[in-house]
Amino acid sequence: MSFAYIGLGSNLDNPTDQVRQALGELARLPLSDMVGASSLYATPPLGPQDQPDFINAVAALQTSLSPLALLDQLQALEQHHRRQRRRHWGPRTLDLDLLLYDQLALDTPRLKLPHLHMHVRAFVLVPLYELAPGLSLHQRPLGDWLAKLDSAPIRRLVDTDVNPTATI
C-alpha cells in the first residue's frame, strides 16, 4: 500500500457540499482507504479575482492504485461533479490534485509529483500541515515552507459536517 495526499477545491455550486461529497467519494475509491481529512478552509482564488472564494481541504489515502490509476480515478470524480476547464485557474465545481504519492518524484506529461508549486500555496500547505504536521517536502519540514507564506487570508471553517481524523 502506498500513501497519497489529495488536494480538494471548489468554488461553484455550493462548494462546501461539493468538497464534503468528494471526501465521501474518495473514501469509496477502489483499492484505497481514506485515512484522514483536514478541516475545510475558505481561501481567495489564486488566479482571476472575478470569482468566488474556494473551499479547500486535503485528504490522505492508503492505496494500491498506481499514481496514474489514482489520477484517472480523481479525474473521473471531477467529471462526475461536472468539472469544466474553461480558463486557467478559473472557477470550478471540483478540483482534485494528487499532491504526494509516498516519496515518489515523477515528471510525466500527465502527472508531476510532488505537485508543482504546492510548497508556495498556503491553500494547500495549511490543510496538509493540519493533517500531517510531521511531513517533509523537498527534504524540508512542511512547517518551514508554511512559515514563509502568508496564510492570513485563509479561514478555517468550524461549522461544517467534516470530522477530520487524527493527524497522520
CATH code, domain carrying 53: 3.30.70.560
pLDDT at 165: 46
Q: How many domains does the chain have?
A: 1
Res 85: pLDDT: 62
Q: Is residue 164 part of a domain?
A: no
What integer pLDDT is reported at residue 87 of this predicted model?
61
Whether 168 is covered by a domain: the verdict is no
Question: Is there a domain that residue 25 lies in?
Answer: yes
Alpha helices in 28-121, H assignment, sequence order: 67-80
Domain membership flag for residue 166? no
Please give the grid coordinates belonging to residue 72: 484517472
Q: Is residue 24, in this structure, part of any structural domain at all?
A: yes
Query: What one-character-per-residue DSSP string does 4-26 give?
Result: EEEEEEE-SSSHHHHHHHHHHHH
Report pLDDT for 86: 66
Q: Is residue 165 part of a domain?
A: no
Distance CA 92, CA 138 (A): 29
Q: Check: CB of residue 131 under 8 Å from CB of residue 37.
A: yes
pTM to 2 decimal places:
0.91
Mean pLDDT by 10 residues, the chain (168 residues): 97 94 96 97 85 95 98 94 68 93 95 95 96 94 94 84 49
> Residue 83: its pLDDT value, please?
65
**Element (H or E) spanning 61, and its range?**
strand 54-63
What's the pLDDT at 159?
Answer: 64
- What is the set of active-site residues? 82, 92, 95, 97
Structural domain that includes position 117: 2-157
- What per-residue confidence (pLDDT) applies to 168? 52
Residues near 31 by beta carbon (within 8 Å), at least 6 away in sequence: 63, 64, 65
What are the pLDDT digits (tens) for 83-103? 666 666 668 899 999 999 999
Using CB atoms within 10 Å of the CB of residue 29, give its burial: 0 to 12 exposed, 13 to 18 middle, 19+ buried: buried
